Structure 1
């Protein structure tokens, strides 16, 4: 029984390795399509978060007068993580339905479609890091050696997004309303994550609820290593890993059990 399980897992890795170039080509295609006929091209991945930062800073740090040191950097470090998850999962939701034409014509592992959307969002997030670096330099934020740990929260978030993306892509095949409902949820999720406000302004019972929000932990981790020069504790790492692994495991199970039925609903 264990031998069969090992062979099955080995088969998954071999299949993924076989189609890695297709996955790469799909990501490159999405990048080209997004910035087609754009004069600045990939620079928009840097300019967009910077322009949004200026708007949010003007509104929330001036009108609402939040007392947050280096508010532009505080907002940008939080929005980078949130925007990555938002773009990744929103793209993954419709990936199977939008890929119906290709799925019906040739054999391609179906997980390629939601995973490609997540990786495409990951590429955009990497470019957005340039915007974060620019703001940190302008504000003269003291940077410490912990900044080299920035890939860790991004990897945690990537794994989490793949798992959630697989779940949403599966649900959307059978229930098209999922996409519409998720667009509402993602807005609520943004306000349930301390991106534009300090967590100190929240009532104690809300703070207790926030610990069940994966993005709260990923955003805090990213800010700790990039903005505050703090090394996250073992507990914080375990919480982030736990959320990522749980969602990835559920996503793989849900997707695998339903992927053979996709052809009947797309």
Structure 2
């Protein structure tokens, strides 16, 4: 009998351990402890579920239930175009961004929480808990957090031997221009006032509602449209005499204003969206 028990124990020990249950997008949104590598293994559809669940869960608790809808638009574009398979440059960059948001929520809930080595985590926490007195302050805080998370994602990709293709570089350039527009609202509006008439006769007069539409992080449609446009651009044509991100911004505006006009004016000219944008619990 004793020999049988020993043999049974030996057999049990020889069996391979049952694999741990894989993290799901929903469980990650609850625990907020999935790493960039975990996120890299997710499909784009799973990441979309993850981001939405974070917003409707802990995000709603912290007053930021719709602060990453534009990220939803980008992920939806990747999904629809079959981009961002696990292990690719796009996947790692996106994973860095999503991880930063996740850990930002975790730190906002518990300031002692680990940032997972993602420089964007603390900036996202600052954005979530901070007070943003106006649209420009809100957009700047959001942009700085995403910039840090994005750069971390690029570093992750390169650390795994993944580098952007020429098309992906163009796409990345658009994302950089978008973040520039978020950080530089007064400058961007001045550019549209001065140069808008070269793009469209009605742009200067509609520059504020257009800018609000383009940079509204609560909406997925503008980011999806921007992704389509950026991914398809073979060549940019900056307005003569305007260089750097300002020139690129005006180049992108040409197509974006067409998309905006096709959808109609979402807010009256000269007004900001009617409700606070991601002001956090103290905003």
TM-score in terms of structure 2 length = 0.32
Structure showing greater radius of gyration is 2
Relative contact order higher in (CA < 8 Å, ≥ 6 apart): 1
